[in-house]
Each structure stands twice: as structure tokens, then as C-alpha cells.
Amino acid sequence: MLKRTFISFVLALALLGPTRAHAEVRIGVGAVGPISPQTETDIDNLVAKLPNVTAVPIQPPGDLDACVKRFVAGEKDDHLDALMVVSLPTDSFHTQQEDKEARFTGTYEIWTLNLSTLAEDRHAFTFSDSETVAGSATAILSIPAQLFVERATGKKLLSSNAWQAYEAVQARVEAKLVAATKLYLSTSTLRETQPLNMLTCAQALVDRGDADTALAVFKAAGVDNPQVRQLMADAQVKLKRAKAEGLLGRTLGAMAGGDSHAATLMLAQYQAAPEAQTSRAEAISRALAVEADHRADYAYRKVLASDVPGLDQTAFVAMVTEMVTGVTGTTPQDVSVGSKDLTIQDKKATDGLKTSLDAYANALGKAAWLMSLKCGCDAVARLTADPSGVVLLRAHFEPSFTRAQVGLP
């Protein structure tokens, strides 16, 4: 009898298919920047060597929302369980001439995304190399941003000793990129990837307050499914609340930036929302009513310390965006938030730092403080000019600090 039961149990498991712990997963692998096709293939092969993983070459469509819309809510054949995007920003290259030697340093970045939980991981490696140039080193230093263009596009830039130096440096640097990827993958969370769960993804989007993408995933999961319909109904309530949270975030951002007039106007919009919380609005109103002296800063900080930890992802991004806009006078193109860090992308930052360094440093310091409030931990904020660009400023804040540390990365 026991033997028969055991056999039946085994057959049932076989019908259910492989367990989640051992199921084959598809991980998309893409590259941004002048990385050679051979190096892309080498990186694909490294990912494919992970247990129970099929590596799928992809063209990265953009940010998290774009990836979810393509690889979760898009065509079934395009569905992935996770992705890894590697980038080599050309403007991260720095060169230095010492006699007949050219020295190079740069940054290689890896971004991973679990498409069920939307957990992200970002890691950057700094590499360096050098090459002796028999002739003039001036030529090799004249086009550092195009260091890897030849192998990526098939166009030869130089036919001199400088060109040979480029060839040698590129070969060694790309070998380092592959080695860095292998090192990263040895402990990466990609090893823990499970098969795609569309409803888990949709719920994660709801928790972030991302209405449009969440509904796209729900529809792709099948609105005829009773479970999906119930989850969509629950999500609608949360998403309406998320709109109010976004207004609250902008109000708090204006307060953090010291703009009491803008905060007052946004507070009125928040109070008009049906999902607004009266107690939170009243606390903000009392803080804004304090006269503009040292007591106002204390009142604002008290409100922020109370409300920021409870903001969802979208509201937190709205807050940081509003704060940065108020302090620097320019609106960032993107605010990317991790578990303990955030990155602010402002395409005007490179020029802005030349004339408004204090404003940018102030904004980044406040961003690190707000991130620390959100996670209740040591936090880091970074300023970049483009999605894969070099870090221009870096700020660090710990709960024990009275002010953030801001400086060069």
C-alpha cells in the first residue's frame, strides 16, 4: 500500500512538471555601449553556465517599466524570468599621458532585474590599463571616447603605432570585462531566479504605485481568470491611493527643498484627493504654518522623518524629483531607487556643476538623507548626466549623521 502511494505521489509530481527550485529559467542578456560582439557572446556564455539557465541575447528596451512591458506584458515568446544588462559608458573613460605611456581608466556597469519580484541589483567595476606608444602618444590620447569603436563597428580609426596600442588595450580591457562578469555572477542573485510569475510582478508594480504597467501585466495574465479579476479590483483601490501618495510625495519634496509656497499649493491638491489621509495633511499644514526661522527646519524634518518611510516607490521618486527641481532649478530625467541607494540622472548636471555646484551638492545631500529615512539605513545618492554615464557627485548619509557627506565619487 505504501509503495503504491509513493508511486502515485511520484507520478503526480511528474505531471506537475519540474519544481520551481529546479525549473529552467530564461535570462535575457544585453549590452549598452561599444562592447564587441565577441565579448557579448562571452558574457552570454557565462550566464548560460549558471545552473538551469538559458541565456537569451536581447536589445535592452530601456528602464524597468519598458523591460516589464516587453518581457512580461508583451508577446509570450518574449517572456523572460530575469535580465542582465552590461554597459560600458564611453564618457567614463579617462586618459593620462606619462612620457611614452598612455594610461586608461573606465567604468563597467552591470544591472540585473528579477521580472517577478522586480528586485534590482546594480554593480560597477572600475578598470585600468596602460600601453607604451613607440611614436607620439598624442594621437592615442586625442580620441579616448572612441577607444572601443573599431571592434564594435568594424571601422579602423588609426593605422599607426597609436592604432596598435588601441588594439592591445582593447583586447586586455575586454578580457577584464569578461573576468569581472564571471566574478559578479559567482555570487549574483541571478542564481536564485525562479520562473516568471506574472501576478507577483503585477503586485510588485502595484506596490510601487505604477498603475499603467501593472494593468498591462494584469491584462496579459488574462482578465478572464477570476483570480486576476479579484487582484485587479484590489489593485485599483491601491492605485487610486497611490495617486494621492504621489501628491503627498511632491508636497514633502517641496518641503525638503525649502519651498514652503510650492508645498502649500501641493498640499491643497493632496487634501482634495478622496484617498488623502487627514491626519498626515494636518501635520504638514501645521509644519508649514511655522514662521520661516530655525523652527521651520525642525518642523519640516519632523514631518519628513514621520512620512517618508511609508511612501511607496512612485511617491518617493516624486518627492526626490520635486526636491531636486526646487533646489537646482532643473528637473531630473530619472530617479532610480535601490534598496539602499538612489541615482539621479540630470542631463544638465555637467554644465550645472560649473555654475551651481553648491545647489547640486545640497540637493544630493538631501537625497541621501531622504533615502536613509526611507530605508532606515546607511544610504548613498549619486548624480549622473545620462543613464550609463560616469558618477559626477556622490553623497553618503547614515542615521547617526547630522548632515550628509558630499563629494567626488
223 confidence band (pLDDT: 50, 70, 90): low
Return d(Cα 216, Cα 69) in angstroms, integer: 7
DSSP for 74-97? Answer: S-GGG--SEEEEEE--GGG-EEEE
Amino acid at 306: S
**pLDDT value of residue 112:** 95
Element (H, E) at 105: strand 101-114
Return d(Cα 328, Cα 381) in angstroms, integer: 15
**pLDDT value of residue 134:** 56
CATH number of 25-192: 3.40.50
Per residue in 332-375, pLDDT (tens digit) is: 998 988 889 999 999 899 999 999 999 999 999 999 999 999 99
**pLDDT value of residue 35:** 84
227 confidence band (pLDDT: 50, 70, 90): confident
Return d(Cα 170, Cα 176) in angstroms, integer: 10
Position 15 pLDDT exceeds 60:
no
Per residue in 239-286, pLDDT (tens digit) is: 777 788 889 999 999 999 989 899 999 999 999 988 899 999 999 999
Which residue, among 384, 399, 309, 390, has the nearest Cα to 108 in the 3D structure? Answer: 390
222 confidence band (pLDDT: 50, 70, 90): confident
Return d(Cα 393, Cα 360) in angstroms, integer: 9
Return d(Cα 310, Cα 306) in angstroms, integer: 8
Per residue in 149-196, pLDDT (tens digit) is: 444 444 444 444 555 656 666 778 888 889 999 999 999 989 999 999
**pLDDT value of residue 171:** 77
Return d(Cα 102, Cα 117) in angstroms, integer: 45
Q: Specify whether the CB–CB gap between 228 and 198 falls below 8 A.
A: no
Cell of 352: 550645472
- The highest-confidence range among 14-28, 117-131, 185-199, 221-235, by mean pLDDT, is 185-199
**125 against 131, higher pLDDT:** 125
**pLDDT value of residue 284:** 93
> Where do the CATH 3.40.50 domains begin and end in the chain?
25-192
